[in-house]
C-alpha cells in the first residue's frame, strides 16, 4: 500500500463521496506528493464536509494536464454559459451530445479533466412523485475516475461538468444515466490519447456496485 493510500485511509470515512486522487501506478510518485500537500492544506482551511463531500456549484479537486504533466487543481462544478440570462448550470455532459455537437466535442478534446470519486448518489423514482436517495460505490474499487470537461467563464474562473452515459446493467433499475467510470488503463492514457480514442471510452461501466438507501 502506498503512503498516500495509508494517508487516505487514516483521513476518510465510509460516507465520503469524493476523495482526492489516489495513485494507481508507481510512476505517479510526484503527483502523490502534491496530493498529500493538497490534503493537508485543505484540512487547515476548510471543514471536512466542505473538502471531501462534493456539492453542486462548489469548488472540487480535479486532475488536469499540461506540458508539465498531471496536476491537482480546483474547479467549480457547474458550467454557466450566460449569467445575465440566468441560464441553467450544466453539471453533466451526455456522451452522445459530446460525440455529436462540435462545441462539446472540442471542449472534451482540448479541456479534459478527471474527477476522482469514491462514490456518487442517484435519485430513484419510487412513485407518487417521491424519490429515494441511493448511495452507490464500486464493489472492487475504493477510488475511481470520471472524465470531465471544463471552460473558463467571463470572470476567468474554471467551471466543469462530468461526463455521463447510459446506465450499466447494475444501475438501470435505479436511474437512466450514470457517470462514465474509466478503467485503469483508460485513466493512464486519458490525457495523451486522441479524441476518437477517448470518445470510445464513454460507455457504461461493467464494475459491480454496492448500493445503500440514504435517510431523507
In the chain the domains, ranked by start, together with CATH numbers, are: 3-213 (3.90.1680.10)
**Model pLDDT for residues 163-172, shown as the tens digit of each residue:** 999 999 988 8
198/102 Cα distance (integer angstroms): 15
- The predicted structure's pLDDT at residue 12: 41
21/116 Cα distance (integer angstroms): 5
Higher pLDDT, 20 or 188: 188
pLDDT of residue 4 exceeding 60, the answer is: no
pTM of the model: 0.75
136/100 Cα distance (integer angstroms): 29
16/109 Cα distance (integer angstroms): 30
Q: Which of 18-22, 29-33, 54-58, 95-99 has the lowest mean pLDDT?
A: 18-22
Amino acid at each position: 500500500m502506498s503512503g498516500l493510500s495509508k494517508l487516505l485511509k487514516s483521513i476518510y470515512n465510509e460516507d465520503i463521496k469524493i476523495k482526492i486522487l489516489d495513485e494507481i501506478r508507481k510512476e505517479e510518485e510526484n503527483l502523490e506528493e502534491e496530493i498529500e500537500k493538497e490534503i493537508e492544506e485543505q484540512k487547515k482551511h476548510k471543514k471536512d464536509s466542505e473538502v471531501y463531500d462534493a456539492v453542486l456549484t462548489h469548488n472540487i479537486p480535479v486532475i488536469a494536464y499540461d506540458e508539465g504533466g498531471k496536476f491537482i487543481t480546483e474547479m467549480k462544478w457547474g458550467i454557466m454559459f450566460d449569467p445575465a440570462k440566468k441560464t441553467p448550470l450544466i453539471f453533466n455532459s451526455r456522451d452522445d451530445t459530446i460525440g455529436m455537437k462540435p462545441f462539446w466535442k472540442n471542449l472534451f478534446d482540448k479541456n479534459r479533466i478527471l474527477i476522482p470519486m469514491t462514490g456518487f448518489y442517484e435519485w430513484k423514482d419510487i412513485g407518487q412523485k417521491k424519490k429515494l436517495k441511493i448511495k452507490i460505490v464500486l464493489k472492487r474499487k475504493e477510488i475511481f475516475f470520471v472524465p470531465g470537461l471544463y471552460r473558463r467563464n467571463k470572470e476567468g474562473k474554471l467551471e466543469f461538468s462530468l461526463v455521463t452515459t447510459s446506465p450499466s446493467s447494475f444501475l438501470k433499475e435505479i436511474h437512466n444515466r450514470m457517470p462514465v467510470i474509466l478503467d485503469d488503463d483508460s485513466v493512464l492514457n486519458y490525457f495523451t490519447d486522441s479524441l476518437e480514442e477517448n470518445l470510445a471510452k464513454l460507455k457504461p461501466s461493467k464494475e459491480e456496485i454496492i448500493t445503500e438507501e440514504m435517510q431523507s
